[in-house]
Amino acid sequence: MNTRHFLTLTDFNSAELRQLLARALELKAMHRRREVYEPLKNRVLGMIFEKSSTRTRVSFEAGMIQFGGGAIFLSPRDTQLGRGEPIEDTARVLSGMVDAVMIRTFDHAMVERFAAYSSVPVINGLTDDYHPCQLLADMQTYFELRGDIKDKVAVWIGDGNNMCNSYINAANLFDFKLHIACPQGYAPDAAMLEKAGDRVKLFTSAEEAVKGAHLITTDVWASMGQEEEAKQRKLDFAAYQVTPALMDIADPDAIFLHCLPAHRGEEISEDMLDDPRSAVFTQAENRLHAQKALLEFLLT
């Protein structure tokens, strides 16, 4: 059997993703009961970080420890990748020593090349194009708090970035409608939009996009690597801040999500994270449980 990788949500089918979410909720309940469950005893996850992280590192490392295994943190300073060793060579070497590799980097082609030469599962912890692990946590959070997202309406507000791309994939796989509200010039990849068809609809007005919606989510206006564009982006996105008043236009049972870190006073108002409709910190915790379900699926 070929090695399974998780580079985008589309590497799994809808049934597998739903299975993962159900298992993530079971693992969360087990964790709350302090049950000892160690299916990955003596297994090791290699973690390559070319982009810094809080939630990705802690959730994967804690998950492996709770499963009885271990994780090795590798920054560019810690590996020969930082000194020009070919990705293909590093992939061959690491996959002979660890049981899976998680990569958080810039260029999505890097994880694709690594996976092509790896004999163990490779997990995309984030690239400039996709953030599938975050979407697992987002979907788990909605399922946990509101039930199945099928036929619901989710709204992405802001840049057509890696999170937006992953929401487009999620809309197809979990069978929900996606509204994307963004300024002109910041729309997501045209090919992805065309493939999604009428499942995804673009808006230039955040207020129009959120009418009657069930899930509202956003991200920082300038991601890592876009710091030089921050000033212009603040001007371009000024009308796209998520506030309690904007949430009032959505369905009464709507929830708000944010992948964090958040810039209060920019993409969200100062009080949005404390609004009762915000599930952001449950969402952040669910990174741990969703990724444990993913690791269990890939390694057992």
Cross-strand partners of 126: 104
Name which of 170, 104, 173 is nearest 137 in CA terms. Answer: 170
**pLDDT at residue 225, rounded to an integer:** 61
Domain span at residue 261 reads 134-281
Residue 178 shares a structural domain with residue 190:
yes
**pLDDT at residue 125, rounded to an integer:** 98
Establish how many alpha carbons lie within 13 A of residue 103's alpha carbon, considering only the half-sphere containing its beta carbon: 33
- With a cut of 70, list the residues of the chain below it in pLDDT: 1, 82, 224-227
Catalytic member of 5, 23, 43, 104: 104
Judge whether 97 is annotated as a binding position. Answer: no
Q: Is 134 a catalytic residue?
A: yes
Q: Is 219 a catalytic residue?
A: yes
Residue the block writes with tokens 């560019």:
76
Residue 212 shares a structural domain with residue 250:
yes
Q: Is 159 a catalytic residue?
A: no
Q: How far apart are CA 9 and CA 184, in angstroms?
A: 27
Report CA Rg, the chain: 19
Question: For residues 129 and 208, is the Cβ–Cβ distance under 8 A?
Answer: no
Looking up residue 199, the CATH number of its domain turns out to be 3.40.50.1370
Q: Is 23 a catalytic residue?
A: no
**pLDDT at residue 83, rounded to an integer:** 73
Residue 269 shares a structural domain with residue 292:
no
Q: pLDDT (tens digit, 9 = 90+) per residue, 255-283? A: 999 999 999 999 999 999 999 999 999 99
**pLDDT at residue 231, rounded to an integer:** 85
Residue 293 shares a structural domain with residue 217:
no
Residue 49 shares a structural domain with residue 74:
yes
**pLDDT at residue 93, rounded to an integer:** 95
For the chain, the residue count is: 300
- Dihedral of alpha carbons 9, 14, 20, 22, sign: positive
Residue 270 shares a structural domain with residue 289:
no
Residue 171 shares a structural domain with residue 269:
yes
**pLDDT at residue 224, rounded to an integer:** 62
**pLDDT at residue 1, rounded to an integer:** 56
Residue 290 shares a structural domain with residue 205:
no
DSSP letters of 186-241?
----HHHHHHHGGGEEEES-HHHHHTT-SEEEE--SS-TT-GGGHHHHHHHTGGG-
**pLDDT at residue 226, rounded to an integer:** 65
Residue 204 shares a structural domain with residue 240:
yes
Catalytic member of 5, 99, 129, 134: 134
Domain count along the chain? 2
Residue 127 shares a structural domain with residue 139:
no
Sequence-distant (6+) residues with CB within 8 A of 265 are none
Residue 192 shares a structural domain with residue 115:
no
Residue 92 shares a structural domain with residue 172:
no
How many C-beta neighbours within 10 Å does residue 60 have? Answer: 27
Catalytic member of 66, 129, 219, 258: 219
Q: How far apart are CA 295 and CA 299, in angstroms?
A: 6
